[in-house]
Amino acid sequence: MTPLALALAVTALVACGNGEPAATSGTTPATSTEATTPPESSTPAAPSSSAPPPPSSSSEQPPPPAKGKVVVLDPGHNGGNSKNPAVINKPVPAGRGKGKPCNTTGTQTNAGYTEHAFTWDVANRVKNMLTAKGVRVELTRPSDTGVGPCVNERAEIGNRANADAVVSIHSDGSTTAGHHGFHIIYSNPPLNPAQGTPSAKLAGAVRDAMRDGGIPLSNYTGKAGLNGRDDIAGLNLSTRPAIMVECANMRDATEAALAASPEGRQKYAGAIAEGLLRYLA
């Protein structure tokens, strides 16, 4: 592929099916940045020791403050990625002996509202809510105008912080008519103890809070809003309890309108924060 063709391939907006570029063997970069969610039938079955709990009752009492806890929020992609193909196509480790390009540009609504702007806004709203409850929150990027960081570095930020929970915030971009709803990805099979029961519980807590908040479960991937995957670098490389939340399908007209509105982003953020507080409690 010529340099110009490579640049065009990378700068094209991609669906955020897994929040990351497709995995490759070794550290060879993928030839395309297109990332799609695998069909449900390809999702590995979770081992009994790490299976997320079934949906709980919505009658739970509000969780108490979580002073002293540490949460790392990872807003997917970045605003400068599309103009820096050489940087985001750089090969990096992705776990399980595979590699991926550093990052991708993410998806957008049909009206042009970008995933990177959505995730940045939602992450900051979650941060404000958690900080008010005494949680120390770190973000994996300081703005929505930079490049990267690479998926392996995002995982390392959570590891270095010794985070009690790591949540990567994304949105999907399925162009299939009727696809809508959120799903939560967790590492499966787990590669270390933190990716087992703790990550499964985190996934279940956030799933329940989002469902209780009136956000529909995905009708096109995963099972009951949960999706065990072995190809997400940020989850594979984490030594802390970690999940990825695909909040909505930005190509669905209803969810695109919700994601593009401050009220909608507050709804997503409030549900994610509630789930984290339930887990930390």
Q: Give catalytic residue positions.
A: 246
Q: For residues 251 and 231, what is the distance between their CA atoms, to the nearest angstrom?
A: 23
Which 8-state DSSP code applies to residue 16? Answer: B
Helices of type H across 53-114: 85-88
Q: For residues 265 and 216, what is the distance between their CA atoms, to the nearest angstrom?
A: 15
For residue 74, report the phi and psi dihedrals to the nearest 5 degrees: -115, 90
Residue by residue, DSSP assigns 28-87 as PPPS---B-PPPGGGSPPPPTTTPPPPPPPTTPPPPPP-TT-EEEEEE-S-TTGGG-HHH
For residue 32, how many other CB atoms are within 10 A of its CB? Answer: 15
Name the one residue in this structure whose structure tokens are 């957008």.
108
